Amino acid sequence: MVHIVGAGPGDPELITVKGLRYLKEADVVIYAGSLVNPALLDSCKEGAEIHNSAHMTLDEVVATIEQAEAKGRMTVRLHTGDPAIYGAIQEQMDAFSKKNIEYDVTPGVSSFLATAAALRQEYTLPGISQTVIITRNEGRTPVPEREKLKALASHQATMCIFLSITMLDKVVEELIAGGYGADTPIAIVQKASWPEQKIVRGTLQTICEAIKDKNIDRTAMIVVGRCLGADYELSRLYAPEFAHMFRKASK
Ligand code: SAH
Protein backbone atom coordinates (compact mmCIF):
# COMPACT_ATOMS: atom_id res chain seq x y z
CA MET A 1 0.00 0.00 0.00
CA VAL A 2 1.19 3.50 -0.84
CA HIS A 3 0.06 6.55 1.09
CA ILE A 4 0.58 9.80 -0.78
CA VAL A 5 0.82 12.37 2.01
CA GLY A 6 0.84 16.16 2.05
CA ALA A 7 3.69 17.24 4.32
CA GLY A 8 2.39 20.79 4.74
CA PRO A 9 4.31 23.99 3.99
CA GLY A 10 7.37 23.48 6.19
CA ASP A 11 6.59 23.69 9.90
CA PRO A 12 6.69 20.01 10.92
CA GLU A 13 3.63 20.56 13.11
CA LEU A 14 1.58 21.45 10.02
CA ILE A 15 1.32 17.89 8.73
CA THR A 16 -2.08 16.28 9.47
CA VAL A 17 -2.48 13.82 12.35
CA LYS A 18 -3.20 11.09 9.80
CA GLY A 19 -0.21 11.98 7.63
CA LEU A 20 2.09 11.83 10.64
CA ARG A 21 0.70 8.45 11.68
CA TYR A 22 1.43 7.03 8.22
CA LEU A 23 4.91 8.54 8.30
CA LYS A 24 5.62 6.91 11.67
CA GLU A 25 4.43 3.52 10.40
CA ALA A 26 6.12 3.61 6.97
CA ASP A 27 8.72 1.02 5.96
CA VAL A 28 9.74 3.12 2.96
CA VAL A 29 9.55 6.92 2.62
CA ILE A 30 10.08 8.82 -0.62
CA TYR A 31 10.08 12.54 0.07
CA ALA A 32 10.29 15.58 -2.20
CA GLY A 33 13.65 16.74 -0.93
CA SER A 34 13.68 20.20 -2.46
CA LEU A 35 10.81 21.46 -0.27
CA VAL A 36 9.77 18.97 2.42
CA ASN A 37 11.24 19.89 5.81
CA PRO A 38 13.71 17.07 6.62
CA ALA A 39 12.80 17.49 10.32
CA LEU A 40 9.66 15.49 9.50
CA LEU A 41 11.85 12.45 8.79
CA ASP A 42 12.81 12.35 12.48
CA SER A 43 9.37 10.82 13.01
CA CYS A 44 10.16 7.80 10.83
CA LYS A 45 10.64 4.49 12.59
CA GLU A 46 14.11 3.06 13.00
CA GLY A 47 15.27 1.19 9.95
CA ALA A 48 12.82 2.91 7.60
CA GLU A 49 14.26 3.17 4.09
CA ILE A 50 14.35 6.84 3.08
CA HIS A 51 14.70 8.20 -0.47
CA ASN A 52 14.94 11.77 -1.69
CA SER A 53 12.90 12.02 -4.90
CA ALA A 54 14.77 15.18 -5.96
CA HIS A 55 17.42 12.79 -7.29
CA MET A 56 15.01 10.31 -8.88
CA THR A 57 13.01 9.99 -12.10
CA LEU A 58 9.34 8.95 -12.14
CA ASP A 59 10.38 5.45 -13.25
CA GLU A 60 12.79 5.18 -10.34
CA VAL A 61 10.12 6.27 -7.86
CA VAL A 62 7.67 3.71 -9.25
CA ALA A 63 10.32 0.96 -9.32
CA THR A 64 11.25 1.65 -5.67
CA ILE A 65 7.59 1.39 -4.69
CA GLU A 66 7.10 -1.78 -6.72
CA GLN A 67 10.01 -3.41 -4.91
CA ALA A 68 8.56 -2.36 -1.55
CA GLU A 69 5.14 -3.73 -2.55
CA ALA A 70 6.68 -7.06 -3.55
CA LYS A 71 8.02 -7.35 0.00
CA GLY A 72 4.66 -6.35 1.51
CA ARG A 73 6.06 -3.08 2.80
CA MET A 74 4.16 0.18 3.29
CA THR A 75 5.39 3.29 1.49
CA VAL A 76 4.74 6.95 2.21
CA ARG A 77 5.22 9.28 -0.76
CA LEU A 78 5.67 12.62 0.97
CA HIS A 79 4.90 15.76 -1.04
CA THR A 80 5.20 19.38 -0.01
CA GLY A 81 2.06 21.35 0.90
CA ASP A 82 -0.93 19.58 -0.59
CA PRO A 83 -0.05 16.95 -3.19
CA ALA A 84 -2.83 18.06 -5.57
CA ILE A 85 -1.25 21.47 -6.21
CA TYR A 86 1.75 21.32 -8.59
CA GLY A 87 2.59 17.95 -7.03
CA ALA A 88 3.00 15.92 -10.23
CA ILE A 89 1.09 13.12 -8.51
CA GLN A 90 -1.33 12.29 -11.31
CA GLU A 91 1.34 10.49 -13.31
CA GLN A 92 2.40 8.57 -10.20
CA MET A 93 -1.18 7.56 -9.37
CA ASP A 94 -1.78 6.46 -12.95
CA ALA A 95 1.41 4.37 -12.84
CA PHE A 96 0.24 2.78 -9.54
CA SER A 97 -3.17 1.98 -11.04
CA LYS A 98 -1.58 0.38 -14.10
CA LYS A 99 0.51 -1.84 -11.87
CA ASN A 100 -2.40 -2.62 -9.53
CA ILE A 101 -0.64 -0.95 -6.62
CA GLU A 102 -3.14 0.18 -4.01
CA TYR A 103 -2.82 3.81 -2.90
CA ASP A 104 -4.63 6.66 -1.20
CA VAL A 105 -4.06 10.37 -0.67
CA THR A 106 -3.90 12.34 2.58
CA PRO A 107 -4.23 16.10 1.98
CA GLY A 108 -1.90 18.70 3.41
CA VAL A 109 -1.80 22.40 4.25
CA SER A 110 -0.88 24.11 1.01
CA SER A 111 1.68 26.89 1.06
CA PHE A 112 -0.85 29.41 -0.23
CA LEU A 113 -2.76 28.90 3.02
CA ALA A 114 0.37 29.05 5.19
CA THR A 115 1.08 32.30 3.35
CA ALA A 116 -2.33 33.72 4.38
CA ALA A 117 -1.55 32.74 7.97
CA ALA A 118 1.89 34.41 7.77
CA LEU A 119 0.29 37.56 6.39
CA ARG A 120 -2.57 37.34 8.92
CA GLN A 121 -4.83 37.88 5.95
CA GLU A 122 -8.24 36.62 4.85
CA TYR A 123 -8.29 36.18 1.08
CA THR A 124 -12.08 36.39 0.69
CA LEU A 125 -13.19 39.78 1.97
CA PRO A 126 -16.83 40.83 1.41
CA GLY A 127 -17.07 43.68 -1.07
CA ILE A 128 -13.48 43.12 -2.21
CA SER A 129 -13.09 39.61 -3.58
CA GLN A 130 -14.86 36.31 -3.06
CA THR A 131 -12.52 34.38 -5.32
CA VAL A 132 -9.00 33.03 -4.93
CA ILE A 133 -7.11 32.16 -8.08
CA ILE A 134 -4.25 29.68 -7.70
CA THR A 135 -1.91 29.93 -10.62
CA ARG A 136 1.65 30.33 -11.86
CA ASN A 137 3.51 32.21 -14.53
CA GLU A 138 4.63 30.21 -17.50
CA GLY A 139 8.05 28.67 -16.99
CA ARG A 140 9.35 25.45 -18.48
CA THR A 141 5.84 24.07 -17.95
CA PRO A 142 3.54 25.82 -20.42
CA VAL A 143 0.33 27.55 -19.25
CA PRO A 144 -2.73 27.47 -21.55
CA GLU A 145 -3.31 30.80 -23.33
CA ARG A 146 -6.69 31.39 -21.65
CA GLU A 147 -5.01 31.08 -18.22
CA LYS A 148 -2.16 33.52 -18.80
CA LEU A 149 -1.75 35.97 -15.89
CA LYS A 150 -2.88 38.80 -18.12
CA ALA A 151 -6.19 37.02 -18.77
CA LEU A 152 -6.72 36.04 -15.12
CA ALA A 153 -5.92 39.57 -13.98
CA SER A 154 -9.13 40.84 -15.56
CA HIS A 155 -11.06 39.31 -12.62
CA GLN A 156 -9.21 41.47 -10.07
CA ALA A 157 -9.64 38.59 -7.61
CA THR A 158 -7.15 37.58 -4.92
CA MET A 159 -4.41 35.71 -6.74
CA CYS A 160 -1.82 33.32 -5.27
CA ILE A 161 0.99 32.84 -7.73
CA PHE A 162 3.20 29.79 -7.26
CA LEU A 163 6.56 28.95 -8.83
CA SER A 164 7.10 32.42 -10.27
CA ILE A 165 9.27 34.46 -7.93
CA THR A 166 12.26 34.43 -10.29
CA MET A 167 10.03 36.04 -12.92
CA LEU A 168 8.56 38.76 -10.69
CA ASP A 169 9.21 41.54 -13.24
CA LYS A 170 7.24 39.63 -15.85
CA VAL A 171 4.48 38.78 -13.36
CA VAL A 172 4.01 42.44 -12.42
CA GLU A 173 4.00 43.49 -16.08
CA GLU A 174 1.31 40.91 -16.95
CA LEU A 175 -0.86 41.79 -13.94
CA ILE A 176 -0.82 45.48 -14.81
CA ALA A 177 -1.41 44.77 -18.50
CA GLY A 178 -4.39 42.61 -17.47
CA GLY A 179 -6.11 45.28 -15.41
CA TYR A 180 -4.78 45.54 -11.86
CA GLY A 181 -3.93 49.13 -11.01
CA ALA A 182 -0.25 49.89 -10.36
CA ASP A 183 -1.22 50.72 -6.75
CA THR A 184 -2.68 47.23 -6.11
CA PRO A 185 -1.14 45.73 -2.97
CA ILE A 186 1.10 42.68 -3.34
CA ALA A 187 2.96 40.55 -0.81
CA ILE A 188 5.75 38.04 -1.17
CA VAL A 189 6.19 35.37 1.47
CA GLN A 190 9.27 33.20 1.33
CA LYS A 191 9.27 29.92 3.24
CA ALA A 192 5.97 30.53 5.01
CA SER A 193 5.87 28.70 8.37
CA TRP A 194 9.64 27.98 8.38
CA PRO A 195 11.82 29.71 11.02
CA GLU A 196 13.48 31.71 8.23
CA GLN A 197 10.13 32.98 6.84
CA LYS A 198 10.41 36.38 5.13
CA ILE A 199 7.63 38.80 4.19
CA VAL A 200 7.93 41.73 1.79
CA ARG A 201 4.95 43.96 1.05
CA GLY A 202 4.45 46.64 -1.56
CA THR A 203 2.34 47.58 -4.54
CA LEU A 204 2.68 46.38 -8.11
CA GLN A 205 4.65 49.55 -8.71
CA THR A 206 7.09 49.16 -5.81
CA ILE A 207 7.53 45.43 -5.24
CA CYS A 208 10.35 44.69 -7.71
CA GLU A 209 12.48 47.37 -6.07
CA ALA A 210 11.40 46.26 -2.59
CA ILE A 211 12.62 42.67 -2.96
CA LYS A 212 16.00 43.60 -4.39
CA ASP A 213 18.78 42.63 -1.94
CA LYS A 214 16.32 40.53 0.10
CA ASN A 215 17.70 37.27 -1.23
CA ILE A 216 14.30 35.98 -2.23
CA ASP A 217 14.79 33.71 -5.18
CA ARG A 218 12.90 30.50 -4.45
CA THR A 219 10.17 28.90 -2.33
CA ALA A 220 8.12 32.07 -2.32
CA MET A 221 4.45 32.83 -2.82
CA ILE A 222 3.23 35.95 -4.56
CA VAL A 223 -0.15 37.21 -3.36
CA VAL A 224 -1.82 40.06 -5.16
CA GLY A 225 -5.19 41.72 -4.71
CA ARG A 226 -7.03 44.46 -2.94
CA CYS A 227 -7.76 42.18 0.04
CA LEU A 228 -4.27 43.11 1.26
CA GLY A 229 -4.83 46.17 3.37
CA ALA A 230 -8.38 46.70 2.17
CA ASP A 231 -11.31 48.63 3.53
CA TYR A 232 -13.80 45.78 3.44
CA GLU A 233 -17.41 45.19 4.45
CA LEU A 234 -18.14 43.14 7.60
CA SER A 235 -19.11 39.55 6.93
CA ARG A 236 -22.80 38.67 6.78
CA LEU A 237 -22.16 35.51 8.78
CA TYR A 238 -21.59 37.31 12.09
CA ALA A 239 -23.83 40.35 11.46
CA PRO A 240 -26.47 40.75 14.24
CA GLU A 241 -29.36 41.22 11.80
CA PHE A 242 -28.38 38.23 9.70
CA ALA A 243 -30.16 34.99 10.72
CA HIS A 244 -28.98 31.59 9.55
CA MET A 245 -29.47 27.94 10.34
CA PHE A 246 -27.63 28.12 13.67
CA ARG A 247 -28.48 31.63 14.94
CA LYS A 248 -31.54 33.89 15.07
CA ALA A 249 -31.19 37.57 14.11
CA SER A 250 -30.70 39.78 17.18
CA LYS A 251 -31.49 43.15 15.57
N1 SAH B 1 2.18 21.33 -3.40
C2 SAH B 1 2.78 22.55 -2.90
C3 SAH B 1 3.33 23.42 -4.03
C4 SAH B 1 4.50 22.84 -4.77
S5 SAH B 1 5.10 23.88 -6.03
C6 SAH B 1 1.78 23.30 -2.04
O7 SAH B 1 0.61 22.90 -1.94
O8 SAH B 1 2.17 24.28 -1.42
C9 SAH B 1 6.38 24.75 -5.22
C10 SAH B 1 6.00 26.20 -5.03
O11 SAH B 1 5.15 26.32 -3.91
C12 SAH B 1 7.16 27.14 -4.71
O13 SAH B 1 7.77 27.61 -5.89
C14 SAH B 1 6.46 28.27 -3.99
O15 SAH B 1 5.81 29.13 -4.92
C16 SAH B 1 5.39 27.50 -3.23
N17 SAH B 1 5.80 27.18 -1.85
C18 SAH B 1 6.04 25.96 -1.34
N19 SAH B 1 6.32 26.03 -0.02
C20 SAH B 1 6.23 27.34 0.30
C21 SAH B 1 6.36 28.07 1.53
N22 SAH B 1 6.63 27.44 2.67
N23 SAH B 1 6.19 29.41 1.48
C24 SAH B 1 5.89 30.06 0.33
N25 SAH B 1 5.75 29.42 -0.84
C26 SAH B 1 5.91 28.08 -0.86
Q: Over the stretch 52-102, which tens digit does the pLDDT of each residue have?
A: 999 999 999 999 999 999 999 999 999 999 999 999 999 999 999 999 999
Q: What is the pLDDT of residue 128?
A: 94
Looking at the domain assignment, is residue 180 inside a domain?
yes
- Please count the CA atoms within 13 angstroms of the CA of 130 that sit on its side-chain side: 5
Q: Are residues 83 and 117 in the same domain?
A: no
Average pLDDT estimate for 24-46: 96
Query: CB burial class (10 A; 0-12, 13-18, 19+) of residue 186?
Result: buried
Q: What is the pLDDT of residue 17?
A: 98
| Ligand 1 centroid distance, CA of 110 (Å) | 7
Q: What is the pLDDT of residue 228?
A: 95
Q: Are residues 99 and 123 in the same domain?
A: no
CA distance 251 to 235: 16
CA distance 13 to 113: 15
Average pLDDT estimate for 32-58: 95
Average pLDDT estimate for 159-164: 98
Q: Which of 47, 72, 106 is the C-terminal boundary of a domain?
A: 106
Q: Are residues 71 and 128 in the same domain?
A: no
Determine contact, residues 122/156, Cβ cutoff 8 Å: no
Q: What is the pLDDT of residue 247?
A: 79
Q: How confident is the model at residue 152 (pLDDT cuts 50, 70, 90)?
A: very high
Q: What is the pLDDT of residue 34?
A: 86
CA distance 194 to 250: 43
Residues in the chain: 251
Q: What is the pLDDT of residue 234?
A: 77
Among 9-13, 115-119, 121-125, 227-231, the least confident range: 227-231
Question: Best of 31, 110, 111 to mutate for ligand 1, by most ligand atoms within 8 A of CB?
Answer: 111
Per cent of the chain over pLDDT 70 is: 98
Q: What is the pLDDT of residue 40?
A: 97
CATH code of the domain containing 128 = 3.30.950.10
Q: Are residues 145 and 95 in the same domain?
A: no
Q: What is the pLDDT of residue 248?
A: 81
What is the span of the domain harbouring residue 174?
111-224
CATH code of the domain containing 33 = 3.40.1010.10
Q: Are residues 64 and 87 in the same domain?
A: yes
Average pLDDT over the chain, rounded to an integer = 94
Q: What is the pLDDT of residue 250?
A: 76
Say if ligand 1 is within 6 A of residue 163 CB: yes
| Ligand 1 centroid distance, CA of 106 (Å) | 17
Q: Are residues 38 and 8 in the same domain?
A: yes
| Ligand 1 centroid distance, CA of 132 (Å) | 16
Q: Which amino acid residue places its CA nearest to atom 24 of ligand 1?
A: 220
| Ligand 1 centroid distance, CA of 31 (Å) | 15
Average pLDDT estimate for 152-176: 97
Say if ligand 1 is within 6 A of residue 89 CB: no
Tens of pLDDT, residues 209-245 = 999 999 998 899 999 999 998 677 777 777 877 778 7
Q: Which atom of ligand 1 is nearest to the CA of 87?
A: 1
Looking at the domain assignment, is residue 232 inside a domain?
no
Q: Are residues 84 and 136 in the same domain?
A: no
Q: Long-range contacts of range 19-26, CB-CB < 8 Å, 24 or more positions apart? A: 19/106, 19/108, 22/74, 22/76, 22/106, 23/76, 23/78, 25/74, 26/74, 26/75, 26/76
Determine contact, residues 123/113, Cβ cutoff 8 Å: no
Domain count across the chain: 2
Q: Are residues 93 and 195 in the same domain?
A: no
Q: What is the pLDDT of residue 238?
A: 79
Q: Are residues 35 and 97 in the same domain?
A: yes
